[in-house]
Structure formats: C-alpha cells, structure tokens
Structure 1
Amino acid sequence: MILEGIILAQQSFRGRDKDIILAAFPKCGTTWTKAPMLAIQNQNRYGQDHSSQSFHPLLTKNPHNVVPFLELHVDKDNPIAYLDPLLSPRLLSTYSSYLPLPNSVLNYPNAWIVCNARNPKVVLVSLWAFHLKTRPPNSNNKLWQRT
C-alpha cells in the first residue's frame, strides 16, 4: 500500500512554494519530528496566551492525524485530492526518502525538505519490536513461532 501510494504521489502530487515535507523511513522518529515542526509552524496561529493554546491540535490529536502523509489515504481516481484544500505553507510527511520525492517538490526553491535519519540497526530493532506488538494473537505464522 505504501509503495503504491508513493508511486501515485510521484505521478500526481503538485508541490507549492513554501511546502514543508518531512521525509523519513518508518520507525525513524516521524512522530517525534512532526510535533515540534507543527508547533513551530502554528505558533502565531494559536498565539502565546494560555486561552488560545487550548485549541492547539497537538493537545488533543496524534501528530499523524494532523500532518498528512503523501502516500496514505490516496484515491486511485483522484490521488492527493485531500491535500488540495490545505492552506499554505503545508506541512506534509512521507515514508519516502529524498530521491523518490515528486519533482514538483524539488523544483520549488522555497520548499523545505526535512530528512529524518536514524541508525539502521536501531531502526531494525524498533521495527521488529513494533511488529511483535502488533502481530495477530495466536498467530500460526512460522516467522512468529521462531521468534
């Protein structure tokens, strides 16, 4: 699903001036990076007084629900349509690295691309632990039985 979404994003995504794209492989700290980027981007929108901070989306939502992924939730008939109504500058995320990003992102001189990297060994351990936690109960899969 992610690979198909990346291909659809490459074909149909149109970048805008001042877009901010967070590019990171899964389990490389995407959630941890989205939260401060979203807070910095919206500091003027929600202000410094305590009364307006109660409406900041990070107080009630997961960063993944606030910062959309390029390759998820795509519709084959109208890919990336859910990104069009977002106000500029858009803060977007992708599980793709820098090279497969759509050319429309790379062609804007004022677009920011934030690449988040992590030690590959640590990523493997983190990804493995995640899969162990999310495996189906009583799985008969031989891979799970060997672990």
Structure 2
Amino acid sequence: MCQKTPEGWKAVAQGFSDHWNFHHCVGALDGKHISMRALRKGGSYYYRYKGFHSLVLLALVDSDYKFIYIDVGASGVNSDVGVFFNTPLGRALDNDQVGLPPCEPLPGGDHSIPYFIDGDDAFPLKEYLEKQFPLRGLSQEERLFNNY
C-alpha cells in the first residue's frame, strides 16, 4: 500500500514541493463516480442520488498525476469520503500505520507541520488530511489558497 516508509512519502512530498511549491503534501485524493447500467436484480445498491447508477474510483496521485493508490468498485450510493474511510489506506491512516514522516518545519519555518494528503472540501479536516476551504463566502486569502 502506497509508500510505507517515511523516506518513500518524503520523495512524493519533494515532488509536490518542486513542481507546485506545496510543501509536505504526500498525495492528492479524489473520487470519481463512473456511470454504469443498472445490474439485473441489483436493486438500488449502485444507484446514486444524482439519478444514475455508478461505481466509485478513488485515487491518490503524486505531483506528476501518477497513481500511488486506487480503490475501484465501491457502490455509487457511497460518497468519496465514505469510500475513503473504508479502504485499507483510510483505515491505516486513521490508525497511524502508513509510515508518514514525523512533523517537521516547512522550508524557512520554525513550527513543525505534519505531512498530509490533499483532498477536496468534501473530506473532513484531519492531521493527515488537508482540504480546501468551502466554496461559499470566501475571503481573498481563502480563494488564493484554494487556487494554489
């Protein structure tokens, strides 16, 4: 599963630092609902509230958009967040079992900051999971952060 060692995660973070000036990020996470035809006798198991049947592709990518973790096949009735927390990666992160590096200061800083995964605003804020500001009522600084 993913990098497994602090050194492996730091190599991914270095890519985000070098390419995007986004320090301590060890991956970008998102889900995509893949539309499908309803299964015969499948009932509403794959039925999504937006009016179609789907399964979920959840992916963690590095700074070059290369997959470093994927989970495919969860029922479309689930949200990205629900799928993520039921994956081996989500459970391992919650149990501090993926080998993320210890907190360190950002370049030029003096306060220790954790290494983290970047998710969209649907994901909850956790020490290992950073997210954008909600897209409503943003200050200029918050808009700039989201567009970073």
Common fold, TM-score beyond 0.5?
no
Higher relative contact order (CA 8 A, sep 6+): 1
- TM-score, length basis structure 1: 0.23
- TM-score, length basis structure 2: 0.22
